[in-house]
């Protein structure tokens, strides 16, 4: 298959624009394998529709909050379908003649004859976080009951209280959150310095 077709398939069948999947290799030492290494192709949905919740359970600042990611809870199972498309694409990539000999046999799904229902069941039982949570102090106007801060990071209803990190992002960016969080922090810090 030509490379340009491979690149064009870097999105799920549900995606109408840009891309919604990240397929990436993860590897490391594993002394239980014949080679002493294990490599996997991980799949991530970059545009999840499921929404979790963060609940503060105590006024004690040392008390841990309750975090409920609510993976695959979106109405219509769109996240599940995107991830199942991603797993199918990762399997297709792994079976390429140039890569297949390096990866060896498949260990997670166990072969090439999986049905869509089996792939979706695999996704449901193996879904994990992707290290990019955002939105626990979501940005938005004061009229939005789910918004915690305004466009400059000011907490609605409090004086001189700001949030300046990835938690104010209303949507997960289709990339790592570290650099966008840095930009948010620098921008809000600059506004605060200019207002003094």
Q: Which two tokens stand for residue 159?
A: 């004086």
Q: Are 129 and 117 in contact (CB under 8 A)?
A: no
Give the residue carrying structure tokens 């799904």: 109
Q: Is 118 helix (H, G, I), strand (E, B) or coil?
A: helix
Catalytic residue among 69, 129, 132, 156: 132
- Angstrom distances, CA of residue 34 to CA of 99, 104, 107, 152, 160: 18, 11, 14, 54, 59
Q: State the Cα–Cα distance between residues 82 and 112, nearest whole angstrom.
A: 19
Q: Which helix (H) or strand (E) holds 83?
A: helix 78-94
Mark whether 69 is an active-site residue.
no
Q: Report the Cα 104 to chain-centroid distance in Å.
A: 27
Q: Are 173 and 180 in contact (CB under 8 A)?
A: yes
Q: Which helix (H) or strand (E) holds 40?
A: strand 37-45
- Residue 38 backbone dihedrals phi, psi, to 5 degrees: -135, 135
Catalytic residues: 132
């Amino acid at each position: 298959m030509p490379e340009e077709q491979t690149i064009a398939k870097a999105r799920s069948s549900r995606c109408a624009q840009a891309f919604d999947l990240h397929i990436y290799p993860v590897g490391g030492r594993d002394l239980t394998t014949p080679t002493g290494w294990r490599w996997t192709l991980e799949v991530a949905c970059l545009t999840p529709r499921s929404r979790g919740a963060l609940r503060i359970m105590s006024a004690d600042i040392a008390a841990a909050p309750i975090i409920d990611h609510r993976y695959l809870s979106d109405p219509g199972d769109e996240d599940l379908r995107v991830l199942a498309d991603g797993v199918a694409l990762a399997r297709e990539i792994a079976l390429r003649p140039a890569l297949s000999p390096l990866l060896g046999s498949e260990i997670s799904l166990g072969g090439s004859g999986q049905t869509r229902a089996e792939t979706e069941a695999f996704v449901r039982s193996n879904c994990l976080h992707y290290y990019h949570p955002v939105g626990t102090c979501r940005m938005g106007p004061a009229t939005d009951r789910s918004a915690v801060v305004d466009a400059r990071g000011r907490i609605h209803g409090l004086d001189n209280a700001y949030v300046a990190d990835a938690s104010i992002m209303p949507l997960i960016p289709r990339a790592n959150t570290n650099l966008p969080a840095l930009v948010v922090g620098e921008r809000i810090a600059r506004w605060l310095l200019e207002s003094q």
